[in-house]
Structure 1
Amino acid sequence: MRANTVLMSAGSLDAEHTMLLIVDMQNDFCKKEGALYSENSEKIIPSISRLLEVFREAGAPVGFTQDWHEPDDVEFGRWGPHCVEGSWGAEIVDELAPLEMELVFKKTRYSPFYDTDIHEHMLDLEIERAVVCGTLANVCVLHTACDMMMRGVDVVVPVEAVAALSDYDMGYALYHMGEVFTAHICSVDEIGLQ
């Protein structure tokens, strides 16, 4: 896979116009008691925590997506019940808990650009680039990256901070985001803000 590494040397991202978007790091996906628990999703918490620290220290914008479903959501026909609104499973994991001023986008489908105000917030903040991480790489992360790219936002994907259910799913997602969406595929260690 060809890694698109333009503008990805350490300290190269503009803190004012770069957002960290953490996708669906919720109890139902990341904790053993969760409805759709994946060990791979739990394993990326420390890498995302490192990114969160970098962005918070720089005063850069941070956002979270939160899968959020009514009890009879049609999506449950595919995945089974998960992230039911107001439930423990729908809450973002404690290790990555949003601060009061950070944005949380409750979404009912794979992409937060469906029926939320994320695009308006990104326009208001003049976001030119987004570091997208979380779970699952080939589902919600992939569709989020696609919708960002189609809106002219450069996407950065740190590989240690995304999770998938299988090596195939991860490889497919990273290849597709890098080759088709021209996302910058990199390491967490390469991400710095100035």
Structure 2
Amino acid sequence: MPRTALVVIDMINTYEHEDADTLVASVRKALPAIAALIARARASGSPVIYVNDNFGQWRSHHGELLQTALAGRHRDLVEPVTPDAESLFVIKARHSIFFETPLAYLLGQLEIERLVLCGQVTEQCVLYSALDAHVRHFKVVVPTDAVAHIHADLAEAALRMMQRNMAAERCRSDDIRFDTPGPAGTDTAP
């Protein structure tokens, strides 16, 4: 099985933006699956990479973004997915996780071939990130229960586009395996 990384997109969030109220309801629904994916990836030893907007705070770093989000009115949406000491963190300024970030280099250093994309927003950042991953020849997996949307109809269209145009695998989060190399090159699942 190809070496896999879990990419958690934009989950460190204050929800102080347009459409936040609509998004929050979808995040609440996806949050258990996202948190479970993070726990399973960590347990397997697969890299967990948070790629998050900087919200225009150009002097901030991931710790400040996390503190601000935890101090916000939706702390309950951030706490279950808080990065641990082993998590990797990449700051982005635009929709795609790859746009002018060091992510492609990091994935190359980690010898990652397969990306599991979870987080928000399905019809925006997840969609553009899946496209950019596809053109970089990564295998892309999108667990439909671990992505949150603003517009359900656009999210469904985005998921269909990812599957059809980008060869992304659509599945439930429970169906995803995070395998790690075992003895003598065999794979073991958690």
TM-score tier (shorter): 0.7 to 0.9
Report the CA distance shift for 1:71/1:64 in structure 2 as closer, same or farther (over 3 A): closer
Letter paired with 1:45: L
Instruction: Look up the SS of the partner of 1:127 in the other structure.
Output: coil
Match of 2:90 among 105, 126, 137: 105
1:28 deviates by 2.5
The alpha-carbon deviation at position 27 of structure 1 amounts to: 3.0
In the alignment, which residue of structure 2 is the partner of 1:114? 99
Calculate percent identity across the aligned residue pairs: 31
Q: Does 1:191 align with 2:176?
A: yes
Deviation at 1:90, TM superposition (A): 8.7
- Supply the distance in 2 between the matched residues of 1:109 and 1:158 (Cα, whole angstroms): 22
Residue 163 of structure 1 and its aligned partner are, at CA, apart by 1.2
Partner of 2:112: 127
Among 131, 147, 150, the alignment partner of 1:165 is 150
RMSD: 2.1
Give the total of aligned pairs: 164
1:28 counterpart letter in structure 2: T
Which residue number in structure 2 is paired with residue 40 of structure 1?
Answer: 26
Question: Does structure 1 conserve the Cα–Cα contact (< 8 Å) formed by 2:131 and 2:166?
Answer: yes
Structure 1 residue 26: Cα displacement: 2.5
Amino acid at match of 1:141: V
Q: CA shift at 1:167, angstroms?
A: 2.1
Alignment of 1:171-186 (within 5 A): 171-186=156-171
What SS does the corresponding residue of 2:166 show, helix, strand or coil? coil
* 1:178 shift after superposition: 0.2
Q: Could you give the per-residue CA deviations for residues 142-186 of structure 1, whole angstroms, max 9, x where no partner exists? A: 011111111010000000001111221121111010000010001
Q: In structure 1, which of residues 53, 56, 64 is the aligned counterpart of residue 50 of structure 2? A: 64
CA contact (8 A) 2:41 2:178 kept: yes
Q: Does 1:28 align with 2:14?
A: yes
Q: Residue 114 of structure 1: SS of its match in structure 2?
A: coil
What's the CA shift for 1:71? 5.9
Aligned residue type for 2:7: L
Q: TM-score, normalised by structure 2?
A: 0.79
State the shift of 1:193 in Å.
2.5
CA contact (8 A) 1:68 1:90 kept: no
Cα distance in 1 for residues equivalent to 2:172 and 2:84: 25
Higher helix share: 2
Cα deviation, 1:52-97, whole Å, max 9, x if unaligned, reads: 111111001110111113269xxxxxxxxxxxx7572498812111
Distance 1:149-1:89 versus aligned 2 partners, 3 A rule: same
CA distance in 1, matches of 2:118, 2:7: 6
Unaligned runs of 5+ in 1: 1-12, 73-84
